[in-house]
Structure formats: structure tokens, C-alpha cells
């Protein structure tokens, strides 16, 4: 397929970009620098996570164990919701002396069940690494206590929530990530500056390479020969 006359080819686009490499490089470096600078004004946050295991106490026969496992899996989804419920959150606030309301604290907590198991992971994001750890562990403890109080049967507790992996103090920042932001900023700067360089080069419509001159001459020659050819026919 032959490109229409006067339409820039891929080679022309490449030459335009090559001629504007300095501007593209400067824009990429500047964008990366701005991204890095922006991260310096963002408060760092840390993430700590604890894990609890849901069990169903009862006889140790094979059938009872199977039924207990099924019961645990059924209750996991309910306990995920309960972990960020107002009762648990108010207890966490009281035990940790947090100056926040339950709805505000809920935004910092993510509770996710492990598919196919009775494990529940509780993740907490906070600007203080130790506080994130303490809140994650407190949610697990308070959830365990609340389940023991409300999930009761005729013979006692129907299920139990046990803390199996206590949260530890995170040693790395979750956000912001300067390196990732710099890379993203550099990529965006490169793309935008390349588009602008192409737009300016096309709008300028200048001849800056020998191939372009040869192409124009060929087009002009072909245009002159066309009438003569039609006359012969």
C-alpha cells in the first residue's frame, strides 16, 4: 500500500523526533525531577498485617473435623465483615487510645480472607509504623474476643478466632515510592514532549533531509509526465 502524496512517512517522524532529542531528554529529566520533588511533600505511610485462624471447637472424630472445617469456612466471610464493624473498631480505639472515629479508622483497615482456607489477613495503613502494628494486632485480638462473646451455642462457643501471625513493625515505607514515581514521571514527560516535538515538526513543514528533497522531485516529475501519458492514450 502506497502512502498518499504529501503524507509524512515513518522515517520522517523518526527524523523529527531525532532532531528534537534534546528537548525530549530535557522534558523527561525535568518530569522525573518534579515527581521526585512531589514525593518529598507526601507523608510516608506504613503497612502492618496480622493473621487470624477460624476454628470450630468440638469432637476430634473425622466426621466432626470435616463438619468443623466447613463451619469455619462458612463463618470466615461473616468475621471479615465483623472485623471492620463498629463494635470491634470502638474496642480498638479504646484499647489504643486513638483520637479517631470508627468510620475514619475503618478507611485504614483492609480485611481479606485467604481463598479456600479459614485464614483472615488484617492489614493496617498508618503514618506511624509502630501504630500500624499495634492496630493490626488489636483488631485481631478484639475480633477474637467479640466472636467468643456472640457466636455461642448450647454447649459453648461455636467457633473461635485465634491470632496465628502477629503483626510486626514494618521497616519499609508503603507510600510514597520515589523511584517508581520518578520512572512514571520520566515516561510521561517523554511521551508528552515527543508528541509536542512531532506536532511542531509537522506544523513547521520544513525540508530537513535529502530524502525529502528527492521525494518532492519525484512527485513533481510524475505530475509533469501524467498529462503527456494521457495524451498518448
pLDDT digits (tens, 9 = 90+) for 10-65: 777 888 888 888 988 999 999 888 888 887 787 889 999 999 998 865 444 344 44
Task: Provide the CB-side half-sphere exposure for 170 (13 A, CA).
Answer: 24
What global pTM score does this model have? Answer: 0.64
Domain with CATH 3.30.70.1130 in the chain: 46-165
Domain 46-165, CATH number (from 3.40.50.1010, 3.90.209.20, 3.90.1310.10, 3.30.70.1130): 3.30.70.1130
Cβ neighbours of residue 147 closer than 8 Å, sequence gap 6 or more: 79, 82, 157, 159, 160, 161
Alpha-carbon distance 46 to 108, whole Å? 11
Asked if residue 209 has pLDDT above 70, the reply is no
Reference 54, options 122, 120, 121; nearest CA is 120
Amino acid at each position: 500500500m502506497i502512502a498518499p502524496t504529501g503524507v509524512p512517512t515513518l522515517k520522517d517522524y523518526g527524523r523529527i523526533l531525532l532532531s528534537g532529542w534534546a528537548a525530549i531528554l530535557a522534558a523527561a529529566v525535568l518530569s522525573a525531577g518534579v515527581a521526585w520533588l512531589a514525593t518529598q511533600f507526601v507523608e510516608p505511610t506504613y503497612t502492618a498485617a496480622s493473621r487470624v485462624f477460624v476454628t470450630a471447637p468440638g469432637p476430634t472424630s473425622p466426621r466432626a473435623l470435616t463438619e468443623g472445617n466447613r463451619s469455619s469456612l462458612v463463618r470466615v466471610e461473616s468475621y471479615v465483615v465483623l472485623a471492620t464493624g463498629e463494635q470491634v473498631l470502638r474496642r480498638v480505639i479504646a484499647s489504643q487510645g486513638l483520637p479517631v472515629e470508627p468510620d475514619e479508622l475503618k478507611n485504614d483497615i483492609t480485611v481479606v480472607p485467604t481463598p479456600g482456607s479459614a485464614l483472615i489477613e488484617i492489614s493496617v495503613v498508618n503514618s506511624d509504623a509502630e501504630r500500624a502494628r499495634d492496630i493490626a494486632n488489636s483488631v485481631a485480638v478484639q475480633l477474637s474476643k467479640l466472636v467468643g462473646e456472640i457466636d455461642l451455642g448450647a454447649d459453648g462457643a461455636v467457633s473461635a478466632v485465634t491470632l496465628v501471625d502477629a503483626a510486626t513493625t514494618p521497616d519499609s515505607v508503603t507510600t510514597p515510592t520515589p523511584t517508581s514515581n520518578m520512572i512514571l514521571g520520566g515516561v510521561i514527560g517523554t511521551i508528552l514532549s515527543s508528541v509536542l516535538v512531532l506536532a511542531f515538526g509537522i506544523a513547521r513543514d520544513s525540508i530537513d533531509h535529502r530524502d525529502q528533497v528527492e521525494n518532492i522531485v519525484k512527485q513533481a516529475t510524475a505530475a509533469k509526465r501524467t498529462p503527456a501519458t494521457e495524451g498518448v492514450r
